[in-house]
Amino acid sequence: MNLKSNFLCKCGGLLYTDFKTNSEYCLNKNCENHKDIERIYNKKGDVEERFKRIKESLRLKSKLFSSNFINFLFDQQNYFFSKIYGGEGAPINGLLIICYIIFLVKDIKFVGRDSRPKSFMNFLRSQHEPLNNYLFYQDIKEENIILVDLPGRTNVPLKLKYLTEINKQKNNYGMISDIHSETNFRYDNIDLEKIDKKVFKIGMELDEYFIQFFPEMMKIDMLTKSNQEFSKLFERRGFTKYEVGALLSLFFSSPVLIDLSKIKKKEFIKTLKQMEFNDIQIENLFKFLIGDSDQIPLAIVTDEEIIYGKWTSLAMVMKYLGTLPERPLIVEGKRVASKVFEGKIRDILRTRGYLVPFNQEIQLHKDEDGYDVIAIDKTKKKINIIEAKYRDLPSSAFSALNLLNLKIYGKEFGEIEIAKKQISRKEQLEQNKDILEAKLSKEGIKIDLKEYDIVPYVVFKFSPILSQFEIVKLISFDDVSNINF
């Protein structure tokens, strides 16, 4: 296979970078890029044990608080989610840490009497560092970061080189570790350009209103799947639009924005019955809110009342509506946005002087793959055929353990598969230049394409892992403005 990549080693393994020196390393022992790595630390063992103790001690200490502590945690979680909706983005780690503490203490019988918010806050601050380390450890577990010994230096973290591109995608959805990063909300305008802004009216179809929020849905979904261990917390199986509708009704029935809201359980059940929930659906809803033993609760459900955060509820509406088994709105929203994306590529190429004759995808024959963008260079006698991939990396590929399988070799997202399709498009066009000539002449353009070369490209939102596969060049959207086609 003839391929080029800035992120892969010559041997095909993933490249890692030393934070400090920017030197690149390969983990494959027989490879020359393995260089002077003296030892690779075993990811599990002691570390796992140590974190077990940290988690246990966190539970024991929390026990000495009054039961108000759990309300305090929900309150904090709500605050973090409100930040995400403030458009400014929320620090990912802070939010994940709160969620994880809720998960750790959710079934504790609190025996203490200390109810002072100040004690709670101090405790929370004291847990930030160990849990932040725990988050860092997730990156080690998933092999995005590898600890090694180099000559004269021990415990040196090597970072997966492709992690910078993965982080650009996360930043794009407002999952922010650097508030000033340029890639924050990078594609907001493309996502929403063709989607009508609608005002919510009672009795309206949920999807009709919520489609405009699909980037929010992506964001929350990605946030709650930041790493493999944490992604289990918010996982719910087999939910329906009833559960989502009930969450939405919690959101709307809350008069307060920032503080936690309460609703009497009886009253809530009455509302649900008005929304035509039957008894089984109500029972399922409570299971959904509370979650299984390895999941985080979405609200505090006691015998008398339900205590919840308005913003947390809205975030969860977004998450579950976006991935609703019956009709996932994220898929629909992206389909619309990908057309806008193609349009932007055409606009840029026109400004750069290429002849871009069509405003939509064209097909040479029915039932064949179409051509997203065609950009002709008359001076160089080239027909650039460009496939636009407005697709995000699925969060399961955020780990070095899955990255190659999904992003390079995968059937759906795999760059090789995508490039191969582009090769067959080139071959098709090679034999059917006359059809293209005819289509051009319909647009009033007369060109003899006989001597023209066909050059295949694929454009992704962010840098792909491969930069070339056989004759296909794989580039990022930014490259469209810069490279020589």
| Neighbouring-strand partners of residue 150 | 153
Q: Compare residues 25 and 210 and give the one whose CB is closer to Zn ion.
A: 25
Tokens of 413: 């997202």
Rounded to 5 degrees, what angle do the CA atoms 378, 382, 385 make? Answer: 120
Q: Is 33 in the site for Zn ion (CB under 5 A)?
A: yes
Answer for which of 8, 26, 131, 218 binds Zn ion (CB under 5 A) is 26
Residues 6+ apart with CB under 8 A from 472: 419, 422, 423, 456, 457, 458
182/201 Cα distance (integer angstroms): 36
Q: Compare residues 144 and 224 and give the one whose CB is closer to Zn ion.
A: 144
Q: Is 31 in the site for Zn ion (CB under 5 A)?
A: yes
446/441 Cα distance (integer angstroms): 5
Answer for which of 11, 111, 256, 258 binds Zn ion (CB under 5 A) is 11
Q: Compare residues 31 and 307 and give the one whose CB is closer to Zn ion.
A: 31
Residue 122: burial class (beta carbons within 10 Å; 0-12, 13-18, 19+): exposed
Q: Compare residues 26 and 337 and give the one whose CB is closer to Zn ion.
A: 26
Q: Compare residues 33 and 231 and give the one whose CB is closer to Zn ion.
A: 33
Q: Tell me which long-range contacts 48-51 makes (C-beta under 8 A, separation of at least 24).
A: 51/134, 51/137
**What part of residues 277-316 is at the interface with Zn ion (CB under 5 A)?**
none
Mark the segment that binds Zn ion (CB under 5 A) among 18-26, 228-236, 387-395, 413-421. Answer: 18-26
* Shortest distance in whole angstroms from residue 156 CB to Zn ion: 18
Residue 21: burial class (beta carbons within 10 Å; 0-12, 13-18, 19+): exposed
CA nearest to 218, candidates 334, 63, 67, 352: 334
Residue 153: count of CB within 10 angstroms of its CB = 12
Q: Tell me which long-range contacts 279-282 makes (C-beta under 8 A, separation of at least 24).
A: 281/242
Mark the segment that binds Zn ion (CB under 5 A) among 6-14, 183-191, 300-308, 338-346. Answer: 6-14
56/186 Cα distance (integer angstroms): 40
Identify whether the C-beta of residue 164 lies closer than 8 Å to the C-beta of residue 24: no
Identify whether the C-beta of residue 48 lies closer than 8 Å to the C-beta of residue 38: no
* Shortest distance in whole angstroms from residue 155 CB to Zn ion: 22
Q: Is 40 in the site for Zn ion (CB under 5 A)?
A: no
Q: Is 9 in the site for Zn ion (CB under 5 A)?
A: yes
* Shortest distance in whole angstroms from residue 160 CB to Zn ion: 14
- Number of shown-chain residues binding Zn ion (CB under 5 A): 7
Rounded to 5 degrees, what angle do the CA atoms 227, 231, 234 make? Answer: 150
Q: Compare residues 8 and 233 and give the one whose CB is closer to Zn ion.
A: 8
Mark the segment that binds Zn ion (CB under 5 A) among 25-33, 96-104, 109-117, 390-398. Answer: 25-33
Q: Is 36 in the site for Zn ion (CB under 5 A)?
A: no
| 3-state SS class at 70 | helix
Answer for which of 6, 13, 195, 281 binds Zn ion (CB under 5 A) is 13
423/152 Cα distance (integer angstroms): 48
Q: Is 28 in the site for Zn ion (CB under 5 A)?
A: yes
DSSP state of 416: H
Q: Compare residues 158 and 246 and give the one whose CB is closer to Zn ion.
A: 158
Mark the segment that binds Zn ion (CB under 5 A) among 29-37, 68-76, 237-245, 286-294. Answer: 29-37
Q: Compare residues 13 and 328 and give the one whose CB is closer to Zn ion.
A: 13
Q: Is 3 in the site for Zn ion (CB under 5 A)?
A: no
Q: Is 181 in the site for Zn ion (CB under 5 A)?
A: no
x/- map, 317-356, Zn ion, by CB under 5 A: ----------------------------------------
Q: Compare residues 26 and 131 and give the one whose CB is closer to Zn ion.
A: 26
Q: Is 404 in the site for Zn ion (CB under 5 A)?
A: no
DSSP state of 263: E
Q: Compare residues 9 and 285 and give the one whose CB is closer to Zn ion.
A: 9
Q: Is 124 in the site for Zn ion (CB under 5 A)?
A: no
Helix (H) or strand (E) holding 156: strand 153-160
Q: Compare residues 171 and 467 and give the one whose CB is closer to Zn ion.
A: 467
Unique residue bearing structure tokens 């793959």: 369
Give first-to-last CA distance, the chain, whole Å.
Answer: 23
Mark the segment that binds Zn ion (CB under 5 A) among 9-17, 144-152, 236-244, 423-431. Answer: 9-17
87/282 Cα distance (integer angstroms): 34
* Shortest distance in whole angstroms from residue 10 CB to Zn ion: 6
Identify whether the C-beta of residue 135 lies closer than 8 Å to the C-beta of residue 93: yes
State the residues that interact with Zn ion by CB under 5 A.
9, 11, 13, 26, 28, 31, 33
